[in-house]
Structure 1
């Protein structure tokens, strides 16, 4: 195991942990405001549970390396998530902005997990492969769901706005 590879892997795990903290905060704020979109709310709440499991898996990977998450990164990403949620909440088309942002964020998470998986062997952390692959599959399913539902969410928003205008 290369020290450089291990260091890069640990940094990636810490970054992924902070990323999932940000995702959790975003979904918690969003789910509070999705009563008009029950399908989206249910999916966000389900993925929130997955995210909590992803955090647990990342913590296990860090523990296996004798490391821990970065409090600074976690706190910063939590604050960023709350600011993003506030910014979107002020917009009349909040559901659309959240849908677009969530689509981008899910793909960001997919790339992060693929990067970690690429490092497992070089870092001597082959035991991290299975939990990271599980998280990757969850992110891919969520990204696919968002992509498949952009039109549905957009039209539901349109109907909501038409009812408000009537």
Structure 2
């Protein structure tokens, strides 16, 4: 593959990652109000929102260093899609669980995207971008691990609360 083609592919991947991270924000922010009974989840979500904002800044910096624009139609479309998906869970009694499933799936999607970007960075010799991309990958892996480790606990807490507040009206 020619050097210019690798450069172009890297820029496309960076722009897609920028849109992906904006989509992540649009998914996570609406979840926070639903987490009042899950303070440990809310705290982790707030931490990851902050990390995601940092990831966006890193991606913008890399693109600026390449003299490329980071704004794209993908940002608007994916951001809208993320918000729409999460909002569709809002009225459901099991929204907390559905949010956790969606977050886990999306974290793994982000991990794959960063691994791919790092491979392209190697192929194109974009050494200056690798540290930033590696930092974002590590944050996504950490969040995915946390979700994986904590999903059973969140589900157990959900079940305990559901017994008291659920549609069957049973009280504990």
TM class by shorter chain equals over 0.9
- 2:104–2:148 Cα contact (<8 Å) kept: yes
Q: How far apart in 2 are the matches of 1:112 and 1:63?
A: 20
* Moved beyond 2 Å, runs of 4+: 121-124
- 1:25–1:82 Cα contact (<8 Å) kept: yes
Aligned to 2:33: 32
Aligned to 1:58: 59
Are 1:109 and 2:110 counterparts?
yes
- 1:25–1:78 Cα contact (<8 Å) kept: yes
Aligned to 2:18: 17
Aligned to 1:132: 133
**Deviations 1:117-159, CA, capped at 9 Å, x for gaps:** 0011322311000000000000000000000011001001101
Q: How far apart in 1 are the matches of 2:123 and 2:145?
A: 30
Gaps in structure 2 of 5+ consecutive residues: none
Q: How far apart in 2 are the matches of 1:160 and 1:62?
A: 46
Q: How far apart in 1 are the matches of 2:74 and 2:98?
A: 25
Q: Which has the larger radius of gyration?
A: 2
- 1:6–1:122 Cα contact (<8 Å) kept: no
Gaps in structure 1 of 5+ consecutive residues: none
TM-fit CA distance, 1:70: 3.2
Are 1:156 and 2:154 counterparts?
no
Aligned to 1:8: 9
Q: Which of structures 1 and 2 has the larger relative contact order (alpha carbons within 8 angstroms, sep 6+)?
A: 1
Using structure 2 for the length normalisation, give the TM-score: 0.93
Q: How far apart in 2 are the matches of 1:69 and 1:157?
A: 40
Aligned length, in residue pairs: 166
Q: How far apart in 2 are the matches of 1:53 and 1:35?
A: 25
Q: How far apart in 1 are the matches of 2:4 and 2:159?
A: 54
Q: Secondary structure at the match of 2:59?
A: helix
Question: Aligned Cα RMSD in Å?
Answer: 1.1
Using structure 1 for the length normalisation, give the TM-score: 0.97
